[in-house]
Each structure stands twice: as C-alpha cells, then as structure tokens.
A and B are shown apart, each in its own frame.
Chain A
Amino acid sequence: MKKMALRLTVCLLLFVSAIPKGSAQSKSEEKYRKESEKIRNEVWAWDKPEFNNTAVPDKYSNTSQVVIAHHTELVADSRSKLIFYGLGFNSEKAQTLTEIVRERVKVNDKSAVEEFSELSFTRFEAKSGFLRNNRSTTYVGVRIVKPDKSVKEVNADDMVLTLDSDNEKKAKLAIPDLLPGDIIDYFIATEQKMSDDYAPKQYNILLFDESPVLHYSFHGQLGKKYAIDYRSYNGAPDLTVTKNKDKEVIIDVEKKDMPPYESSLWISPQRQLPLIRMNISLGYRGFMSDKYLGAAKPGEVNKDIDTDEIVKDLAKDYSQDFLYRYSKSEYDDIADDAHKKGQSVGLNIKDMPEDEKAAYLYYYARFVRLLALEPGNVKRSINIGDYTFNGFPILINCILKGGDIDAGIVVASPRLGFRMNEVLDADDLVSAAYLKNSKKIIHIGSIYDHPFMIPQSMSGEKDTRTMELKKKILMLTPASTTRLASVGGGFALPSTNAAQNTHLEELKINLNPGETKLSVQRTATLTGYYKHSWQRKLILYEDYYEQERKLVGEKETMLEALAGNQKTSWMVENVKRALADARKKQMEECIDEAKSWFEQEVTDLKDFKIESMGVRHTDPDFVFSESFLLDGLVKKAGSNIIFEIGKIQGQPLAIKDNQRKREQDVYMPYARSIGYDLRIQIPEGYSVEGVDALKKSVENETGYFKTEARVEGQVITVTVKKGYFHNFEPASNWDKMLAFMDASNEWENAKLLFKKN
C-alpha cells in the first residue's frame, strides 16, 4: 500500500530535526523552521485556481480518492525564482535543483484515509520525477479542507525523526483529523545539489495514475547554465519550452481530466502509457566538452534527440572502455590459455570454424571469469546463478578479438522498453556482441546462457544499430578516442517462436486404490527462455563447475586447485562444508519447485537427477527427472475413484471479469508453449470412463489449447498443449486469446472415473 512519503536529508550546513517537545533548538534548527514557514506561505499563496477547487465530478463520487490538482515546480538556479521563493538554500554559492510537488486530493473512503494518514518516505519517491536523488533538505506542508470548506493547517514541525545521523535525517508526520470526505492539500519540497555534477539527471512526468486526476501541471525554470533533452511518449502532450529574457529555460505542460489507470496484464508502460522524459544537466564549456565528453552546452535544448546521436554516445563510452580493457592484453591471454586447454582435450581451436571457435572461447571465458571460485567470496560463487549481467559486450568483444574473430556489437532497445526511435539516453539501450560473418549473437546475461542465444530483451527487434570497436589507434589523443568506435546500420534480430520456448512435462502416473496420493515419475524439459528460473533453482554450482571443468580441459578439481595453492589451502574445509550445505538445500528447492509448479502437496520426492543442464548450444535443453507422491487430485466415490486430471496443470491463468475487455495491445515476455504428456496406469480391477470427454481443441492465429486422450491397454495417454504464438498481439486479437485461455481454464474441471469392476 502506498503511503505518502517524506524524506529529510541534510547537508553539513543545515540541520533538520524533529524537535522533541521541551528540548532546546539550535540556530540551524531555528533557521530551518523559519525557512520552512516561508516556503509554506509561498506555496499556499500560489495563484492556481485548481488548488482552490473542492468539487469532484459525480462520476468519481464512488472513487477511493480523486486528485483534484497536482502541480510540480522544478527550479534550478533561476534568479527570478530564487527571489520569488526568497530562500537561500545556500544557492547563491551552490547550484541546486529544487523540486516542489503539491497535490490536492479528495479522500472518500477508509483506505484512502489510511494511505494519507502518515507522511513517510516512499510516497515522495513515488511522486518525485527523479529516478535517483541526492536530496539535501526537505520541507513539507499539509492542510486539511473539511466538507464545510474550512481549512486547517497541520503543524508540519511535529514531524518525528526515524533516522538521525550527522549527514542524513529521516522523518515522518502523522496527519491529524483526516476523515473520509475531507480534502488533503500537501506539498513536499526538496533540493538537490548540482555543483560540479555534469551527469544528466533523468526526470519523468507520468501522465497516468491509479486515481483520477482532474488537473495536472508541471512548470520548470532552469537557469541559463542548464541544458535539457526531452521527449513525449505515447500520446502525452508536448512540453512547451521557451526562454525568458534571462535566457532561462521555461518548461510547461498541463493535462486535465486524466481518468484512473488500472494496471493490466502484459503491459509495457514505456511503449503504451503517456509520459514525458527529460534529461537535465549542467552545461559544460570546458576542455573536451561536448565533442569528447558528450557534455551538453549551457542553454542547450534538444527535443526528440536522434537515436543515432545516442548510439554514438554509447559508442564513445564503449570505445573508451574497450581501449582500457584491451590495452591490458589479458584477453589475448584468455584466448591463448583457451587454446592450450583445448589442446589438452584434443581440440585445436585455431582450426575450428569461426562459430565453433567463438563458442569455445565463450565457454572458456565463462568458466574462468564467472564460474571460477572466488576464494574471498565463496557465498557469491556458490550463488553465481542468482546474478544477472548486462551481456558483457565489451568483454566478449575483447575475447573474440583475442582469438582473431571478427566481432562487433549490435545495439537495440529492449522490446518492453522505449522504442528505438524514442530513446533518450544510452541507458535505454541494450547491446550484445555478434559475429560479423554469421550475425550470430554472443551474450552473457546469466551463468546459464550459451552462445547464439538471442537475449529475451532483444528478441525480434528490427530497428538496431551496429558498432565496431577498433583494436588499435596510432596515437592516443582526445580526438582519436572518438574514432575508436564506428556506428552503422543494424540488422533485424530474429524472434523466437512458441516451439523454441517450451515447458514439457512427461509424467507417468500410478493410482493406488485406497489412497489419495498419486505416484508420479516426472521428466521435465525446458527450452529457450523458459529455462532460466528452473536452472537457477535446481542446478548446483558444484555440479555445474565440475561439468564445465572437464569440458574446457581443466585438470584439477576445485578442491584440488585450492589445496595446491599455499594462499588458499586453508580454505578447503570451509569450501567443502559450504558446498555440502548447498547440496543439502537442493532437496528443499526440488520439493519447493514441484509444489509450486503443480500447486499441490508433494511428498516423498526422490531420484532427482539433472539429465542435461542446458548450458551449451550443442545441448541447449534443461532436462531433469524425479519421482514423488502428489496429493490433491484424487477423490473417492464409494469404491470408485475420481481423478481430477484437469488440475495436473495447476491453476491456469484466469482472466478476471474486469480484464476481459481490453483496449491496450498485449506485450508478453515471449512466445511459448506448455505441454503435458501423461501416461496414466489404470489400476488393476478398474475400468476407466470419461476419456473421450477430455478431448478439446481451440486454436486460432494467437495460440491454442489442445488435448488428446486415448486408452491403450491398461494405460491412458493424455496430451495437453497450450501455446502463445507471439510475444505481441494487438488489442484487436484479445478475444482470440481469451478463447484458448478460457478453454485451458475450463479444462481444469476435467475428470476421469476409475470404476471398480
């Protein structure tokens, strides 16, 4: 549940405190109180008629809360604004960004009263447009407007401290006398230091809210030293950007009557919801400014920056990183070492075809750089599967070049992120190394990835760019560093289909008459993007390491290598025990996984075995097997048995009534399919009824749900298949999706009768 947020942080010069009653006030506290009162008076005096409004349209009378007005002021070193607020903030010496967020909210029910009954930190962070913030001082003001229009101001100095250290303070405030039917009018003002900080600060204006918003506005006033890049998304209105006579940048936007937004299934906010983004930075005119450091000029205003400019900025970053890393020559060493190790297992990587060579280098680098045990951090090593990486495009480039492979970097925007032609900065982009000849992707997003896998975030993206990073330059100068990377046109990245991302369950099921638990022998096969969370849960680091050690030609086991080194020999027992601990926990993970997948009680789990880890491109499927007893699917009817076979698929996704009408396009993680191959043994002395009724088939251009069933001797064979053909569907196809999803849901009620002969 959201709470209103407040955070007080303090710089060395200012001291903020919630004054316990009766204690003495310091000078700085006194100053804070005075400033606090001043800013409250200023904000309450805003000449904005929407903040005098008490009326709410009838259509929202049953709504928990209605935002009557929301206004944000963003001020940076504006001479006129400083005078207006009459506040020092010490700003005459330091450059600061000041953000004031004010809201006027009608609370109509108990849940809204509860939400606004306390000011704490998280609300401010939710309401602030900044993604990251070095706040130094915060001020608040709160007023309650009663139904009779009387206004009561809350004593905001009744805040209490919950963190009280020298350079940071946190506080919260309980709001008195707030009842359903009241209006709460509050603001939070904060400042952020910008001195010598030229990094852009990203600021977002979200034009959607869970509550209806009658009037939304934003006003920015940035001193002439500042620069701004901005863009509007998904139908959001454009910012009005002008300059005043002092050459300050003035930014305004307003929107009225925003209906409440209800978050829905399979949405990409970046591609579907109205929002405005800005990057605000201090301009820099010094040595190596925009040409070499990518810094903006003071007063520069850029609307809808060209994507290629941003990709070039990314290329500059990459090139410097590449140069730094490559100059170390360590990647040549990796390639050489890989070559030697390969020879020890009978492989001559120099003669391999390019793809195979690239794969070998990848596996070797993965082993020595990620899988290798870190003696100083055993816990991290054992849990390396929990970590995700950015793909390591530079690292992989270095290693491939070390192996004389022609490689480049392909750049795209993530498929659930901002569109490629709408990116605002390099952080919006994702990238991966690729082989220039074959255009195959080489990417490490997790320890379980393998070569030629297209990262899920890039799958199917057509609008891409490529970069080439030069290995050497003649002379290292500021100008030449910018020529280290060249940016060119990209290529369409293939998309995966439902058959490539599968979860298949092969189950042999025995019923024991008189008992309600099924004996199950299970083999599960996961492919493509389905694998990762299962691999993470079930693969033991120790086993993974051991498998790869042999394949890359490393002769010593982990413990032998530790024991053989004087610096690490003392760790052997420690590591042994840590590995044993992890192995003991694996059984619990297996039971958890089975319970969570089948959504029933699972007992007596044994014979767990990983048949294939799925960490190599030559053997990419993750396959494991086990047996257990499964409860919850068998009911009795006298001497007969009802097998609720429909529940073997757990609880399929049920689309609620309020989700059945959809106007937004559907962004799913990936095309996928789930299948069950069941072989059910008919108990001796029993016959089966209801097999034919299990058959069902619904298929259309968006997906399918199909079941087949037949009896062969004493075995019932049932196949259940469900698939989503695409990772994206237009809203017009939603009813087609509902057709097969509903069919899957209805099949949950499918039953078989085993009748005693």
Chain B
Amino acid sequence: MNLPTTRNIALATTKYCTAIFLYLFFSLSAMAQSSDEENPNISLQEVKREFVVIAGNSEHPVLIKEESNLTYYCKEYRATVQVAEFYNDMETLDDVDILVDGSKKHGIIPKKEFYESDGIFYSDARVCYFNLPLKNQGSVSTVRFKKTYLDPKYFASIHFLQPQPVTKGEVVIRVPSWMKLDIKEYNFGQYGIQKQVSQQGSETVYRFVMENLPALKREPFSPGFTHYSPHILIMTRYAETQQGRQNYFNTLNDQYAWYHQLIMDARNDEPFVKEKAQEITKGLSADADKVRHIFQWVQDNIRYIAFEDGIAGFRPEKGSEVMRKKYGDCKGMANLLVEMLQSIGLDARHCWIGTRHLVYDYSTPSLAVDNHMIAVWMNNKKPVYLDATEKYIGIDELAERIQGRQTLIEDNANYILDRVPVREPGQNTLFEKRSLSIEGNNLKGHVIQSWKGENRVALLEGINSIKQENQNIVLKNYLSRGKNNFEISNLRINNLTDYNNELSVEYDLNWKNVLAAFNNEAYLELDNRRKFEDLKIDTAKRKLPYWFQFKDHIVFETTLRIPADKKVTGIPASLKIERPGYRFSGSYSVNDTALVYRCEIALLNTVLGTGEFRQWNEDVLQLKDFYNQQIVLTTRK
C-alpha cells in the first residue's frame, strides 16, 4: 500500500538507510491521507493530542503514552477520508476507536499491514488504515488512537499540520519531575501557535494551542518538511527511575557514545575483508589511489537494500556480512568501507550526517537530527568524505544532499564535528560541443558531449538501468530527444567505468531540415536543447521554495562553418543574467568563416526562495526569448 504521506515524500526524496527517519515520522501520527486538494470540503474541527511520560517496567523503564483525538467535519458534501496511523516495534498501537456521527455502528474494520516504502526493502514499520465516511454536510466523525512509545529516544518530534485544515488544535505533553527533556520549536512564526508551560503537581505541562492551521502542503521539488512545517523537536535527556538513571541524549557525547557502541558491536575481523582490500589495491602505492579503488569497488559491487527492523535501523551490519551478501544499506556500506580501508592501514572512520532534507544539526542531540551514515578517510587529518550509496560519484565529488551539512566523525571515544565542503557548479558540468557545416537545409558535423559530477551520475544511473543490448538505442534516443531528423551515427561512448573522470560521447550528426529557406534567406535555430526554458514557476499555485536537485552547470557551444556563398546577416542579441543564485548567458559571434554560439547556465544555489519566484520567471522568459531568436543567413549575390 502506498500512502501519500509526508513520510512518503521524505522517504522518496532521500536515500535513507536508518529507521531514525521512520521514527521521526511515526510521531506525526493520525495523518489522514486524503489531502486538502482531494477533499476540499473536509476539515479537522478539532485535534487533541496528549502525551504523558510515565514509569514503565524493568524492560522499558520509561514509557510515553499517547492519546490522539481527531474530529473530522464535512463542510459541504458527502466524502470519505482515508485515515492512517503508523507504528512499529518501538511504538505500539494500543487502540483505535472510531465514531461516525456519534455512532460505533459503522462497520469499519481498520486494516493493519506492513508499510512498504521505496528505498526500504524491509522494516518493522506498520500502518493501520481505514476509510472514514462523512455522510452529509455537517457530519462529524471522530477517530481516537492510543499508542505507547517504549523508549523515549524514539519520541523525537511532534508535527502540528495535518492533511486537512485544522480549526482548533491542542498538543499537551506531561512530563514528571524525574524526567528531563527539552523542547525546541521550529517554524512557528507564521502559524500563531501559542505555547504555555505550567506546573501541575510534580508534572511540567507543555501546552501548544493553535487555530486555523492550513492543510499540510506538499509540492514537488520542495524542501524536506522539517524546514517549513511547524513542529517541536523533543530532546529526551535522562530519567531518574526505579531502575536507576536512564541516560538518553543529555549531550552530544551521549548520542555519540550510543552510536559508537552500535558500531563497536558490528566490528569483525574476517580475513577475507582484508584479502579483498589487498586484492583491489595490488600494485598501488599512493594512498589516494588505494582509497579510490576500494571506494569504487564498494560502489560497483554492493547493492543498496535496506533492512530497517527495530534496532537494525541503527546498528550497521558487519562489513563481512555486507561483503558476503553483496548488499547493504548506507550503514552497512559505510562499515564495510571503513573496515576495508582500515585493514590495509588507512585511517578510516565512521561518520554520521543529516542530509539537507533535515533542518537540524548536532546542536540538538536527538535521533531525529541525522538520517545517513558515510565513511571518512582522514588524509593527513583532513577528512575525505566517501558516500558509497552514491553510485557513480567520484572520490573528489560530493552529492548535493550532503554538501554543507554538519558531520559527526568517529574519533575513538570522542568525536569530531566537521562540515562537508560545498562544491561549485563546475563539479557537475555538462558540456556539449558541436562542429557543424551547412549542406542544403541540413547541418552536418561532429559532436562531443561530456558529463561530470551529478550530471554524470544521473546519466550512468539511466544507462545502467537499461539492458545492455538496448543501451545504444536508448542513448541515441536520449541525445536526439526522440527526433528522427537528428540522425546520429558512429556513436562512441568513452569511459563508463571510471567515475573519477568525465564520461563523454562522440558522434557524427546529420541534422536534417533545420534551415528554413525562403528565397535568398535562411533561418536557423542552433540550440535544440533549450535548457531551462520550461522551468517557469506557477506562482499562483506554488507556496514552498523550489529545491533543485543539484547545482547544475551546462555549457553548450556550436561552431558553424559558413559556406562561401552565404553570410550571416542577423544574429540574436546576447543574453546575460546574473543573480546571486544563478546565471544565464548566451551569445553569438561571427567571423568570416564561422559563427560561434555559446550558452551557459549555472545554478549557484539549489534553493530558490518564494521571494525569488517573480524574478526567476522573468529571467526564464528572457532565456526563452533568447532561444526563440533565429540566425539569419543570406545568400551572397
């Protein structure tokens, strides 16, 4: 079952390998699946959620009991809302109570299933779901969920938005004096959420009151919703219980210690890991070469399959197991990489990181703040980041999703806080150079194209997902954009296997019927790529910032030899747009024998804020206008 929850979107947009993220979104609870767009006449008249910290038993000394009551209201006409609640091994679903117009006689039987999501092969995530009818205008149906969190570490956040607008909402957290936790607020600003803190006996009561909240907005290419959704991060520090002091994450030290213990448990000393590392690096002397070869071996030979079953969502698989099975998740791959590098005497470490989809960093110790593990090679004490889940990325390249992010690097009993470097768009250059001449109404010549960085990664992902016997055909189709008049011959692909160098293709081109001849004039458009011309943002609909996948950099050059019987009598005016976040430029130049066209697009920043939309649209329009201009060739008399 594929539920369009905020979880789904988050999971789909990142390669998560730990259950941390799953737990984060489990605490969202009771997120009905029908969005405001689907059922505009359904609202949540009232949402009341209470979380109470209580003493547990010897197995689970501290429990958090949740009771959530949601009252759905039908504004206009009969509809059905799909309601779902997630749970798992650490977060039990104890009871579900449903009333339809005040009656229990509704015949609804909630279904309970494993929850499958893209990117996770298997997890202990489960979902309870059912269709809730609202029969008439004015109908009210209520749902009550009761849950228990078995370990406060996993009680990491509470989000306030729902798929439907909320008329009145309240979230209450009752914390006994023996429990130490802190709460941090995010994105409250525009929503008018009121916080009240009071003492009731020995309990501290946190009350969050809200009115007229809009429905949770979901848009493609938007930030992870921790960036914009109002919520609280709950940092459980420690608890003084009958079973003694229970330490959670009082400081980052505690969080690191817990992580470190998990990786220590996953150590092994299997000789075949070292043998393999030695085999791969045989004959290599420079450390950097050794690291490069081992890194690529892991990229090429270990498939990403994530098992996130309870504690398995946090503890990495032993490197030897990952090597034996030839699959693993980010933790397993990182662990294997570290073990292989260490086995040949290199200083390799484990490194935890939260990808850009998360708003947090390690200043707020919590399971919610990170969602990924990579390896680090300390090259003369300088960390070189190695993310083996990024297939086809070179050792000197970094994926956008981890650039600039804070890292927690293993340093025995201690840790190092660092930050992944930010790369320039030049890391991802896509370059195309055409050398063409005119034959009748056709252009003929030779083309070279090259891909670097994340552009190369995207192309290789596409090529390797195709059966090898079809790769040439599919690649030709991609290069020609499916146009039959863009005839490609003698296609050569250079370098499909060394991810540390650019991938390039070369081919001969016969581009037919491109010149439009009218009497003694001919009109020509050289740029059939026309990158970015369709990226206008619908400001009437879009409310969230736009996130580009990576800092794209595209350079397109064409040299056109002008035959002796023709001269260029009209070229479009140049284009030059420079903004803090992006650059568009295009130009034509002419000499006696050739016309040279150059177009360059660079994204300097992958985030386009809502305040920038208007300017962006104007600039895209200018770019499109530039593309629409024709070259004019006149026949010499």
Contacts and interface: CB of A to CB of B under 8 A. Distances in A.
A748 B484 CA distance: 10
A349 B625 CA distance: 64
Contacts of B325: 174, 176-177
Interface in A628-677: 634-638, 640, 642, 651, 654-658
Interface in B473-494: 473, 476-477, 482-485
Contacts of B76: 573-574, 577
A658 B512 CA distance: 19
B327 interface: yes
Interface string A736-757: 0000001001101101010100
Interface string B309-320: 100000000000
B469 A62 contact: yes
B303 interface: yes
Interface in B126-147: 136-137
Given A636-B628, A656-B477, A117 B305 contact: yes
A690 B77 contact: no
Contact of B484 (A1, A172, A177, A745): A745
A751 B441 CA distance: 13
Given A62-B468, A172-B122, A749-B513, A636 B305 contact: no
A698 to B, nearest CB: 15
A41 B467 CA distance: 33
B617 interface: no
Contact of A657 (B77, B473, B525): B473
Contacts of A636: 625, 628-630
B377 interface: no
B122 A160 contact: yes
B468 A108 contact: yes
Contacts of A575: 77
A162 B126 CA distance: 9
Interface string B453-482: 000000000001111111001001100001
Nearest to A178: B326
A235 interface: no
Contacts of B324: 176-177
Contact of A746 (B78, B114, B513, B625): B513
Given A178-B326, A642-B523, A163 B468 contact: no
B240 interface: no
A636 B632 CA distance: 10
A112 B464 CA distance: 10
A172 B136 CA distance: 43
B534 to A, nearest CB: 8
B307 interface: yes
Given A163-B114, A638-B632, A573 B137 contact: yes
A642 B116 CA distance: 52
A176 B465 contact: no
Contacts of A165: 113
B516 interface: yes
Contact of B485 (A114, A689, A746): A746
Nearest to A110: B464
Given A637-B632, A749-B485, A753-B518, A162 B116 contact: yes
Nearest to A646: B513
A118 B464 contact: no
Given A160-B122, A162-B122, A111 B467 contact: yes
Interface in B387-401: none
A516 interface: yes
A425 interface: no
A277 to B, nearest CB: 29
A198 interface: no
A110 B392 CA distance: 13
Given A1-B465, A634-B628, A164 B122 contact: no
Contacts of A118: 121, 305
Range for the number of chain A residues in contact with chain B:
35 or more
B485 A573 contact: no
A113 interface: yes
Given A111-B464, A176-B325, A654 B482 contact: yes
Interface string A491-522: 00000000000000000000000001000000
A63 interface: yes
Contacts of B570: 637-638
B449 interface: no
Nearest to A637: B630
A179 B77 contact: no
B519 interface: yes
A118 B476 CA distance: 30
A384 interface: no
Contact of B519 (A160, A174, A635, A689): A689
Contact of A573 (B77, B525, B630): B77
Interface hub of B136, B477, B516 (most chain A Cβ within 10 A)? B516
Interface string B294-333: 0000000101010101000000000000001111000000
Interface string A149-165: 00000000000111111
Contacts of A176: 324-327
Nearest to B305: A174
A488 to B, nearest CB: 50
B78 A378 contact: yes
A109 B327 CA distance: 16
Given A174-B121, A654-B484, A753 B523 contact: yes
Contact of A635 (B469, B477, B518, B525): B525
A20 interface: yes
A64 interface: yes
A705 B122 CA distance: 55
B303 A113 contact: yes
Interface hub of A62, A110, A516 (most chain B Cβ within 10 A)? A110
A642 B518 CA distance: 11
A570 interface: yes
Contacts of A651: 482
Contacts of A570: 136
A578 interface: yes
B628 A109 contact: no
Given A163-B113, A570-B136, A114 B303 contact: yes
Interface in B609-637: 624-625, 628-632
Contacts of A642: 516, 523, 630
B41 interface: yes
A161 B632 CA distance: 66
Nearest to A643: B516
A578 B137 CA distance: 12
Interface in A1-28: 1, 20
B303 A751 contact: no
Contacts of A63: 467-469
B629 A635 contact: yes
A577 B40 CA distance: 12
Interface in A156-201: 160-165, 172, 174, 176-179
Given A174-B327, A573-B77, A578-B77, A635 B628 contact: yes
Given A111-B466, A113-B303, A378-B78, A689 B327 contact: no
Contacts of A640: 523, 632
B468 A179 contact: no
A657 B78 CA distance: 53
Given A160-B307, A162-B114, A176-B324, 11 more contacts: A64-B467, A177-B324, A577-B41, A635-B629, A637-B570, A657-B473, A658-B473, A689-B518, A742-B484, A749-B485, A749-B512
14 contacts: A64-B467, A113-B303, A118-B305, A160-B309, A162-B114, A165-B113, A174-B305, A177-B326, A581-B77, A634-B628, A637-B631, A640-B523, A746-B513, A755-B518
Top 10 A-B residue pairs of the complex, sorted by shortest distance between their CB atoms: A64-B467, A176-B325, A637-B630, A751-B516, A749-B513, A689-B518, A160-B122, A574-B77, A577-B77, A109-B468
Interface of B: 41, 76-78, 113-114, 116, 121-122, 136-137, 301, 303, 305, 307, 309, 324-327, 464-470, 473, 476-477, 482-485, 512-514, 516, 518-519, 521, 523, 525, 570, 624-625, 628-632
